[in-house]
Structure 1
């Protein structure tokens, strides 16, 4: 986990509504991201750099994964005041950026559901891992030349690639993989998924990657596609512990603050609690405008000289 304390999820008003009403965070299938090639490009590049027999196995493995699972991503930025990301990901500044605490995210995972209904990343020999959704902590993307990055992934996963043939016969039933094999496979996929084109470097993205059995997916119709996704469901109102604040886009109505106060308002938010107060003092108060009502001071609005 990066030492970054605060991260920001830029989203539309519909996305913000879904998070606070349903207490869920959405992981989107990698084939339906804004940039379709963010996993596909490094995967295809990596195949060109390995031996032909391993290349064939990796091709089969990818088809098997897509037929039975969804490799899905949840993305955040380490940049808190990005007009460009508000425009691109938050409906041209009509949406918002949700502020998350990486410390609390990490603690939730380590406590195995003490705060959230997390799924352990590693199974046991008697309980294969891929029968249920699994996902990683947030880690920073790497902005490198794609071929150099893939060479690094190959080096870091050489043992996995050497052993790939051993479970090749079982590749169509990944739920039967041992805990060790499943762990190696998931690490390999996560390493590939952390690559991002250098032209997006300013976004300073972090990602959590999930592998979801097909029967656990939801589907949403869009203007030109039907998008598969998975929702990480939090316990009760404990999403409030993860959300430190909401930054409204410059075109977002200030009335949104009343909705957030109603959905997220509590004695915790009225009086403040340590991580939220720290973010407000270290970041928010100097960079954003406080949105009334003042008792619900976790809601701010992005400043901009133009829209």
Structure 2
């Protein structure tokens, strides 16, 4: 994670904001159900194109993983006042942008993803690679040329790819992966998942990648699909340290500040959570309009007059 990135922002609908605050969770969405349906898949297909001898093994690997797991993303931005993102992801400015602490996220991710079980990758289609979901630190998306980026991935993971042997039937031999090799597999997938089309570069996106066993998935119906996702339970009050502020969109009712006051606002923040005060002083007060009630001091509203 870049050393100078202390604050990131998750743009979401009013329903998304409610869920995050009420349930103390952050959502990771299966990569096949993101706004850009080419996420991960385009880069994965390019790898197969650049390495023809790996086409069968990479195809089987993808099928194997999707049979029992979800590769899911949680996406944030390094910019806090993006009208375009508030329109696209925040329900045309009726939603919000949640300011998050990268330091808190880093501590959480370091403690969650190191316990790779020393078991075979699969003995049957239902056997788990990892007993519990694992997720990465927040990493910058890469907006570089796709061919160049995939060539780098092949070079960086050459040793791991060489370990994925192809039998005479063309079946991926993953049964003997050690815990270390399973960790390398996750790093390989996470690196692929960081690529994003350059047309989205103004979003300044960072993302965390999760590998989630299907038993841990939840499902939500949308207008035209049913979307699998995983909710990261932030364990008790840890989300109070993770959330630094909430910026309501231009069309979002200021009554939302009252809800946030009930669920998050407290004078105790002045004594306990210095990071929230720092974010307000450096970002919130300068760029946005503060909302009442005053005990919910970290709720702001965009100053834009867009209607």
**TM-score (ref. length: structure 1):** 0.92
Contact 2:78 2:206 in 1 (8 A): yes
The residue number in structure 1 matching 2:46 is 45
Pairwise CA distance, 1:271: 5.0
For these two proteins, the number of residue pairs brought into alignment is: 296
Deviations 1:44-100 (A, max 9, x none): 011100132x11100011011111110000000001110000000000000000110
The residue number in structure 1 matching 2:30 is 29
Cα separation, partners in 2 of 1:150 and 1:126, compared to 1, 3 Å: closer
The residue number in structure 2 matching 1:116 is none
Deviations 1:152-172 (A, max 9, x none): 11111111111111796554x
Counterpart among 99, 103, 125 of residue 118 in structure 2: 125
Cα separation, partners in 2 of 1:306 and 1:265, compared to 1, 3 Å: closer
Counterpart-to-counterpart distance in 2, 1:170 and 1:126: 15
Counting only pairs closer than 5 Å after superposition, residues 36-185 of structure 1 correspond to structure 2 as 36-52=37-53, 54-110=54-110, 112=111, 119-125=112-118, 130-165=130-165, 169-171=172-174, 177-185=177-185
Over the aligned positions, Cα root-mean-square deviation in angstroms equals 1.8
Counterpart-to-counterpart distance in 1, 2:234 and 2:134: 15
**TM-score (ref. length: structure 2):** 0.92
Q: Secondary structure at the match of 2:130?
A: helix
Q: Extract unaligned runs of 5+ from structure 1.
A: 113-118
The more displaced of 176-185 and 215-224 is 176-185
Counterpart-to-counterpart distance in 2, 1:225 and 1:292: 38
The residue number in structure 1 matching 2:14 is 13
The more displaced of 32-41 and 292-301 is 292-301
Deviations 1:16-47 (A, max 9, x none): 00000011111000000000101100100111
Contact 1:27 1:72 in 2 (8 A): yes
Q: Extract unaligned runs of 5+ from structure 2.
A: 122-128
Q: Secondary structure at the match of 2:42?
A: helix
Q: Secondary structure at the match of 2:268?
A: helix
Q: Secondary structure at the match of 1:165?
A: coil
Q: Secondary structure at the match of 2:40?
A: helix
Contact 1:121 1:135 in 2 (8 A): no
The more displaced of 81-90 and 267-276 is 267-276
Instruction: Give the ranges of 4+ consecutive aligned residues of structure 1 lying more than 6 Å apart after TM superposition.
Output: none
Counting only pairs closer than 5 Å after superposition, residues 214-229 of structure 1 correspond to structure 2 as 214-229=214-229
Pairwise CA distance, 1:266: 2.9
Q: Secondary structure at the match of 1:25?
A: strand
Q: Secondary structure at the match of 1:143?
A: coil
Cα separation, partners in 2 of 1:192 and 1:75, compared to 1, 3 Å: same
Contact 1:136 1:209 in 2 (8 A): yes
